[in-house]
Structure 1
Amino acid sequence: MKFAISYSTPYYGVDPDKIVGYAQHAESCGFESLYLPEHIVLYPGAMYGPSEIPPSLSYPDPLDCLNFVAAATRRILLGTGVLLLPYHHPVTLAKRLATIDVLSKGRMRLLTVGLGTLPGEAKAVGVDFASRGRRADEAIDVLRLLWGGDEKGVSFHGEFFDFDDLCSFPKPSGVTHLPIHVGGSSRAAARRAGRRGDGYFPGGALTPQERASQLDLARSTAARAGRDPGALEYTRWGSIDMSTEQVEALAAQGVTRMVVSATSTEPEQQRDQMSAFAERFGLTDRLVDQAGPGPGSRQV
Structure 2
Amino acid sequence: MRRDISFKTEDGVTLRGWHYLPDGRTGRVPTIVMAHGFSAVKEMYLDRFAEAFAAAGLAALVFDNRNFGASDGEPRLEIDPWQQVRDYRDAITFVQGLEETDPDRIGVWGSSYSGGHVLVLGAIDKRIKCVVSQVPLASGHDNALRLIRSDTIAAVRGLFDADRRARGAGEPPAMIPVVSEDPAGPAALPTPDSWTWFTETGRLRAPSWKNEVTLRSVEMFTEYEPASYIRSISPTPLLMVVALGDVLTVADLALAAYEKALEPKKLVTLTGGHFDAYVNDFAAASSAAADWFRRHLLAA
Q: TM-score, normalization: structure 2?
A: 0.36
TM-score, structure 1 as length reference = 0.36
